[in-house]
Every structure is written in C-alpha cells, then in structure tokens.
A = this chain, B = another copy of it.
Amino acid sequence: MKKVVVIGLGLIGGSLALELKKRLGYTVCGMDTKEAHIKKALELGIIDKKSNDDDLKDADVVIVATPVNVVASVLQNVLNTISEETLVFDVGSVKNEICKTIASHSNRKNYVAAHPLAGTEFSGPEAAIYNLFDEKVNIICETEKCDWKVLDKAISLFKILNMRIKMMNPEAHDRHIAYVSHLSHVSSFMLGKTVLEIEKNEQHIFDMASTGFASTVRLAKSASSTWTPIFLQNKTNVLRSLEEYIKNLTEFKNLLENEDESGLNETMNNTNYIKTILNGIK
C-alpha cells in the first residue's frame, strides 16, 4: 500500500491526510512536534500511525504542513532522506523564502511548492475536515524546477482532491496573497482588538454581532502560531498592503470629519465593484 507522510497535523495537514486516505487509499503516517496532536490524530483516525524519519525513505508522498517559519528546514531534512520518485510538497502561505532556501538542494526537483487556498478559522487536528479543498484554487510555484514525473504526480493528486490549479512565480504569489489574504487577517484581528478594548460589556458584543461584526471578525479567531510566522515571512508585502489600508481608512476618516457626503458615497459606490468580481469571474 502506498505511503504518505504528513508533517504537521493541523487543519490543512489533517484535512489532506483524511482525503488521501479516503480518496486514494494511502497509508497515512503522521509527524508533529506536539505529541498531543499525534495522539489526537490517531484517536480521530486522521493518521494510521505515528511516523519517524525512516518512513520518509519509502514514502510515495511527503506533505509538509508546518507553520511557514519551519517549512524550509523541514524540507531540507525531507529532501535529504527521500527516494528518487517521492513527491514532496508543502502548503505554506508564503512561498518566496522557502523556494529560495531550498533552490540549490540536489533533490529540489522532487519538491512542488504549493499553496492550497483553503482553510477555516479553526486549528489543530480537531479542525481537520473532509472536502475542504473542493473547488478551491491551489497555487503552484516554480513548476519549471520540478521533475516532470513528480509534477505530474502532484497535479494528478490535486485533481483528485477536486482543486483548480494556478501557476505563479513565488514573488507574485507572495505579493498577491498579501493583499487578498494576509491583509484580511490583519484587518480582522485589529477589528476584534478594537471592539474588545472598547466594549467592556461582552453581552453587547454578542447581541450586536449579527450586524456584520461576526463575519468581519471571523478571521480573528485564527491561531497566532500559524499567522505570526506568515506575517514575518511576508513582511515587506504585508507592510505595503497595511500602509495602503491605513491610508484609505484615514482618507475615509477625513471625508467623515468634513461631512463630505458625495465623497463618502463615491468611495463606497466604487468599492461595490468588488461584488461584480466576486460573483462574476470563473
């Protein structure tokens, strides 16, 4: 039976483990620096066994689903150990630093730099769910550096998970994702912080959450152990997006201070175009 080793048994690693077992009948071996995660993943049937470095030697697929700050060093170790035909991919939300770090590894060709754009605000093995990747986009970077058989294996696997595949270079990936994903997280975290600081009455927050707050603040439930490394690793792009965001908020504040009705209307009307984009494109 084919073997997959999943390193990092959180929401994404755990969900991939579930899918590979169910859709492809893989034997799933799991690693995690947290013993409690391994125990929970075994209990929930997410993995078949606790893994060690020996499992890497004859694994068909190795998935690195750790926080982004350790992906590169984990990959080094994995690429040192695997067999010639093993597919190795990560799922990190920042790609450039990882790709640069392992660029000259002798087994670079076995690695596919992937970022499945899927997730929830929950974390840990308990958060792993089926069908998380259905119809979602998976961004793959630097495909030109992969062995074609390895790349073919990766694409076949992502297709079985029902994902849509996009190719992008790592710099472009990190720049786009900073604006569309990472900034949303900062915006949501700081909204949550602002409301928590000012609203001493927790019942009011709960009662009023249906006004749009609940959905806008959803991402503020995300784990800092995932997001601190992402923000740090994509620092330049996140800072640039954050500066633009603060500038726009300050402009809005000025419009409101000046009671500039037509200015407020205009900025909101223009932004309504996001509706067309989110509904329209396939």
Contact = CB atoms under 8 A, between A and B. Distances in A.
Contacts of A267: 189, 193
Given A118-B210, A235-B259, A245 B191 contact: yes
A86 to B, nearest CB: 28
Interface in A114-137: 117-119, 121, 136-137
Contacts of A268: 189, 220, 222, 224, 227-228
A interface majority secondary structure: helix
6 contacts: A187-B191, A206-B277, A206-B278, A231-B256, A232-B261, A242-B256
Pairs of residues from A and B, 6 with the lowest C-beta to C-beta distance, nearest first: A181-B211, A224-B268, A180-B208, A206-B281, A184-B216, A192-B274
A189 B252 contact: yes
Given A232-B264, A246-B249, 17 more contacts: A117-B208, A136-B210, A137-B208, A176-B204, A176-B208, A179-B199, A184-B211, A190-B252, A193-B267, A196-B270, A196-B273, A197-B244, A214-B278, A221-B274, A221-B278, A224-B268, A232-B256
A241 interface: yes
Contact of A249 (B181, B186, B270): B186
A228 B193 CA distance: 25
B250 A181 contact: no
Given A176-B199, A216-B219, A231-B264, A184 B189 contact: no
Contacts of A160: none
A194 B241 contact: yes
Contact of A207 (B137, B201, B225): B137
A239 to B, nearest CB: 6
B207 A195 contact: no
